[in-house]
């Protein structure tokens, strides 16, 4: 058996076969193309067949290889966390733009990532800000929370992997309650909240076999998909952070754009609420400036 034989016999699309063979051999894809005669031993072939079967049973490629690229960084992923999606990358850019504006206005930012999962959003933000080599990285605070202990464990491992564990504080708890914020802690600061909370409706989940290996806790936003955002808005309002500038960026399903705006307006009638599109030009984010 050779690399060429595996490709000839594989029941998977070419790209997925390439990903698995390159993962098993620890060789890049160029190597597979230029060395098709490389022998594959029995043990490796068996491992390939197991991966192939799981993939055909809709296991995400990222769970099978244990990693996923997000914002140019490699993240460890396990079935305890949602596989970070490319559409979420725009949230990272949005946050970085907001923090850069804060710097121009001499305002210090506190950035929190609620429902951090693998830690993808907060780690990508912090590692981009670190690259700027100015005092934003030094002066800003970074926090992340999740209700799931196994997810937080993965997020912390990713922070260590990217050498950012001393910069990001992780908390377990229900949305904002995890942080136990006090008004005087945040005075004169800009609180930037990134939230990619479960927002799919139960019907959407039942119709998507491709996601049934991912944690329901990461996906299911109940009937209309807005259960967690409603709760987050309620918690934020109850904190009474009247003196604090707040920006809240929520990832949504494009179908929730109008309803999401209306719900946000109910909680924050005087806020500036705008919708932003993802890379596929679909409404994907609500940016709520309070
Ligand atoms: C859609 S996933 C997003 C994961 C990650 N932020 C990303 O963008 O890839 C939602 C995350 O919210 C977490 N979560 C669910 N309910 C929560 C709650 N009440 N409080 C905090 N986190 C929660 C889930 O465990 C999951 O990790």
Parts of the chain belonging to CATH 3.40.50.150:
72-289
Residue range 197-213, pLDDT digits in tens? 999 998 888 888 778 88
The CB-based long-range contact list for 1-9 (8 Å cut-off, 24+ gap) reads 1/39, 1/40, 1/41, 1/42, 1/45, 2/36, 2/37, 2/38, 2/39, 2/40, 3/32, 3/35, 3/36, 3/37, 3/38, 3/40, 4/36, 4/37, 5/40, 6/40, 6/45, 6/48, 7/36
State the Cα–Cα distance between residues 142 and 18, nearest whole angstrom.
Answer: 37
Average of per-residue pLDDT across 91-115 = 93
Atom of ligand 1 nearest to the CA of 174: 20
Q: What is the pTM assigned to this prediction?
A: 0.94
What percentage of the chain carries pLDDT values higher than 70? 100
Question: Is the shortest distance between the CB of 147 and ligand 1 below 6 Å?
Answer: yes
Instruction: Write out the H or E segment, with its range, that includes residue 102.
Output: helix 89-104
Bridge partners for 272 per DSSP: 289
First to last CA, the chain: 62
Q: For ligand 1, atom 17, which residue shows the shortest CA distance?
A: 147
State the Cα–Cα distance between residues 261 and 273, nearest whole angstrom.
Answer: 7
pLDDT over threshold 80, residue 162: yes
Number of C-beta neighbours around residue 67 at 10 A: 19
State the Cα–Cα distance between residues 259 and 273, nearest whole angstrom.
Answer: 12
Question: Is the shortest distance between the CB of 87 and ligand 1 below 6 Å?
Answer: no
**Å from CA of 78 to ligand 1 middle:** 14
**Å from CA of 104 to ligand 1 middle:** 32
State the Cα–Cα distance between residues 217 and 219, nearest whole angstrom.
Answer: 6
**Å from CA of 152 to ligand 1 middle:** 10
Question: Is the shortest distance between the CB of 121 and ligand 1 below 6 Å?
Answer: yes
CATH topology of domain 72-289: Rossmann fold (3.40.50)
Contact between 156 and 129 under an 8 Å Cβ cutoff? The reply is no
**Å from CA of 81 to ligand 1 middle:** 8
What's the mean per-residue pLDDT of the chain? Answer: 93
Residues whose CB is less than 8 angstroms from the CB of residue 3 and which lie 6 or more positions away in sequence, other chains included: 21, 25, 32, 35, 36, 37, 38, 40
pLDDT over threshold 80, residue 182: no
């Amino acid at each position: 058996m050779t690399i060429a034989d595996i490709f000839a016999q594989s029941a998977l699309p070419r790209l997925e076969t390439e990903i698995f063979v390159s993962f098993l051999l620890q060789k890049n894809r160029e190597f597979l193309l230029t060395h098709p005669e490389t022998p594959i031993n029995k043990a490796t072939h068996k491992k390939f067949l197991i991966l192939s079967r799981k993939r055909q049973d809709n296991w995400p490629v990222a769970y099978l290889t244990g990693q996923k690229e997000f914002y140019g960084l490699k993240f460890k992923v396990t079935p305890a966390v949602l596989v970070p999606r490319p559409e979420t990358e725009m949230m990272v850019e949005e946050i970085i733009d907001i923090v850069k504006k804060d710097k121009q206005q001499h305002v210090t930012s506190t950035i929190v990532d609620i429902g951090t999962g693998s830690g993808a959003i907060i780690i990508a933000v912090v590692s981009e800000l670190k690259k700027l080599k100015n005092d934003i990285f030094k002066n800003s605070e970074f926090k992340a929370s999740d209700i799931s202990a196994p997810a937080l464990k993965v997020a912390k491992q990713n922070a260590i992997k990217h050498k950012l564990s001393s910069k990001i504080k992780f908390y377990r708890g229900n949305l904002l309650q995890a942080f136990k914020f006090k008004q005087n802690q945040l005075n004169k600061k800009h609180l930037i909240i990134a939230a990619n909370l479960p927002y799919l409706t139960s019907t959407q989940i039942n119709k998507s076999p491709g996601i049934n290996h991912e944690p329901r806790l990461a996906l299911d936003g109940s009937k209309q998909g807005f259960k967690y955002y409603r709760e987050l808005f309620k918690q934020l309002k109850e904190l009474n952070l009247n003196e604090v500038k707040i920006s809240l960026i929520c990832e949504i399903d494009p179908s929730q754009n109008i309803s999401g705006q209306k719900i946000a307006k109910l909680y924050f009638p005087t806020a500036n609420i705008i919708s932003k599109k993802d890379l596929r030009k679909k409404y994907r984010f609500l940016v709520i400036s309070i």
